[in-house]
């Protein structure tokens, strides 16, 4: 496993990391990539947000209501 990831590879690892435990080299490579890459940092936050949104789906009955 190489240490330098492209954004394409990082995106897949971010997603897979939500579904299984990544290997240590994968986690290190991803951590390194995220420290230098704003685009993938956004993707990471957005995938995590999607998880929170999906858990609450179908959402509140009214705006600001219970979800």
Partner 1 sequence: MLLKFAMLQLRNQAQAEDAVQETLMAAIQGAKNFAGKSSVRTWLVGILKHKIVDLIRRSSRERPLDLPDEETSLEDFDALYREDGHYASMPAEWGDPETALSQRRFFETLERCLERLPKNTARVFMMREVMGIETDEICKELAITATNCWVLLYRARMSLRACLEERWFAIRA
Residues that bind partner 1 (CB under 8 A): 6-9, 11-12, 15-16, 18-20, 38-39, 42-43, 45-47, 49-67
Written as six digits, the tokens of 67 are 């979800």
Whole-number minimum distance, CB 48 to partner 1, in Å? 10
For residue 25 the two structure tokens come to: 């080299």
Cβ closest to partner 1, residue 23 vs residue 67: 67
Closest approach of partner 1 to the CB of residue 63, in Å = 5
Q: What φ, ψ does residue 8 adopt, rounded to 5°?
A: -60, -45
Helix boundaries (H) for 1-67: 7-17, 24-36, 38-56
């Amino acid at each position: 496993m190489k240490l330098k990831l492209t954004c394409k590879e990082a995106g897949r690892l971010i997603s897979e990391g939500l579904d299984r435990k990544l290997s240590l080299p994968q986690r290190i490579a991803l951590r390194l990539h995220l420290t230098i890459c704003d685009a993938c940092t956004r993707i990471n936050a957005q995938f995590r947000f999607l998880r929170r949104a999906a858990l609450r789906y179908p959402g509140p009955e009214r705006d600001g209501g219970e979800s």
